[in-house]
Copies of this chain bind each other. A is one copy, B any other.
Amino acid sequence: MHFKVISRVLGVLLMVFSLTLMPPVAVSLWFNDHNYFAFLIAFLITFVTGFIIWLPVYNTRHDLNTRDGFLITALFWFVLGLFGALPFVFSSAPHLSITDAMFESLSGLTTTGATVITGLDYLPESILYYRQQLQWLGGIGIIVIAVAILPMLGIGGMQLYRAETPGPVKDSKLTPRITETAKALFLVYLKLTLLCAACYWAAGMSVFDAICHAYSTIAIGGFSTHDASIGFFESNAIMAVCIFFMIVSGINFALHFFAWRERTLSHYWSDPELSFYVRVIALGTIITVSYLSYTQTYGFSTAFWHGSFELVSILTTTGFGVADFSIWPAFLPFLLFMLAFMGGCAGSTGGGMKVIRVMLICKQGMREIHRLIHPNAIMPIKIGKRSVADRVVEAVWGFFAVYVISFMVMFMLLLATGLDFITAFSAIGATINNLGPGLGDVTLHYGDINPTAKWILCFSMLLGRLEVFTLLVLFTPMFWQR
């Protein structure tokens, strides 16, 4: 482990992050909401801490190895979550406890979008803007890490993407690759955000709301500036824009990058993961809208808009709302909730286990059934025309098992803190999948549950965002040996 280099990276990271506390100051002054002081203090603390960490090691140079990659990735979210919580603590409205501030901050950065705050419509604009910006920053972090770092670390089958990463590929060293890739992806991310904001504005949002919601849409975050979320606007045009950009943000950003660079849509058509993702969305929408109409929960028009919006929002793990899907009839709430376990494509800002893994799991299940009938046949698992290495399939299984086991353990811990079955079940599902809203007591917000439960959920958000393994590996003795 190269602790000096890791310190340098973290120091720089904190100093850069501290700069992101300046836009909220500007927003505060623009709207004159008397809250700029909270951000200034937070800026000072963050910058100075970063500087103090960075100074003693500023001229250390060393290539990072895989272990350093794990540690930096995990620390990235944890440390930013910690310092990102400062404005919530210093702000006068809302004035959050340490636990609540950390929850809100981590929920923002991991693009989970679970909130402990109510009465959003009455908060200072700077705080509202800051929450949205946290998600946006988290989103770009996720994409860079998912496309550039995770394939190299070999998390749960993501070696698959090693060859497809944009930018120069050097397997043994992280640094040059991250920089190139980060630049390329950041531009795509920025352009998509601007386009989304423009569309929201054209569809009728104020400039402030358009920017804020573009942030949390492209990041698949789900934070809103209104308690009623997207439902606040009561506009089909806004819903349509939102649905479109949620689907787009759930796609592998490497595909967007290629499409942009080569000015062609051909990469989209030929991607098997995208095709699976689109078909699941289409099928899910048909089932949801039909069942809502059939049970006369809504008239057809409302069933169509609410059904497709909620399906896309939950499946992509965005978590925006226009209707309370938790009271929809029979299996619909659970169906939507289960689809969030799939989530977005790998290399997107979406949460969940990722489409590609679910595809591989289904294909392996089918293969095992076919193998029973033809025990000696050789049946490679294929994604598109490419055979998938056994090693990758094993890694995906490992991922699935550890995901399920982690879910169970945290679920039982939540039950032990006194939450009821549905609240605990959905809260873990909503956080490990980085979805946001749950069912039961956490349908609307997470403010009323006990502090211990909130910390468990913080861990769950991190676990999901770090693809489980990146975090768990730090708890093995083997990681720290030698």
Interface residues, chain A, CB within 8 Å of chain B?
Answer: 66-67, 70, 153-156, 330-331, 334-335, 338, 361-362, 364-365, 367-375, 390, 393-395, 397-402, 404-405, 408, 411-413, 415-418, 421-422, 469, 472-473, 476, 478-479
**16 CB < 8 A contacts A-B:** A66-B375, A155-B372, A330-B416, A331-B412, A334-B415, A362-B405, A364-B398, A365-B402, A365-B405, A368-B394, A368-B398, A369-B476, A370-B476, A370-B478, A372-B473, A390-B390
Q: Tell me the minimal C-beta distance from A21 to chain B in angstroms.
A: 34
Q: Tell me the minimal C-beta distance from A64 to chain B in angstroms.
A: 15
Contact B413 A371 (CB under 8 A): no
Given contact pairs A334-B421, A421-B422, A473-B373, A394 touches B393 in the complex (Cβ within 8 A): yes
Given contact pairs A331-B413, A372-B154, A415-B330, A398 touches B367 in the complex (Cβ within 8 A): yes
A155, A397, A417 pick with most chain B CB within 10 angstroms = A397
Contact A372 B334 (CB under 8 A): no
Q: Please, how many angstroms separate the alpha-carbon atoms of A404 and B353 in the complex?
A: 15
Which residues from chain B contact A371 at a C-beta distance below 8 Å? 154, 395
Contact B416 A369 (CB under 8 A): no
A contacts with B: majority SS = helix
Which residues from chain B contact A373 at a C-beta distance below 8 Å? 66-67, 473, 476, 478-479
Which residues from chain B contact A390 at a C-beta distance below 8 Å? 390, 394
Q: Please, how many angstroms separate the alpha-carbon atoms of A417 and B338 in the complex?
A: 18
Contact A416 B469 (CB under 8 A): no
Which residues from chain B contact A476 at a C-beta distance below 8 Å? 369-370, 373
Which residues from chain B contact A411 at a C-beta distance below 8 Å? 334
Given contact pairs A155-B372, A370-B476, A473-B372, A401 touches B361 in the complex (Cβ within 8 A): yes
Which residues from chain B contact A156 at a C-beta distance below 8 Å? 368
A67, A361, A390, A413 pick with most chain B CB within 10 angstroms = A361
Which of these, B335, B394, B412, contacts A334 with CB under 8 Å?
B412
Having A364-B397, A390-B390, A397-B400, one finds 8 other A-B pairs with CB under 8 Å, namely A330-B415, A331-B412, A338-B408, A362-B401, A368-B395, A368-B402, A372-B469, A394-B394
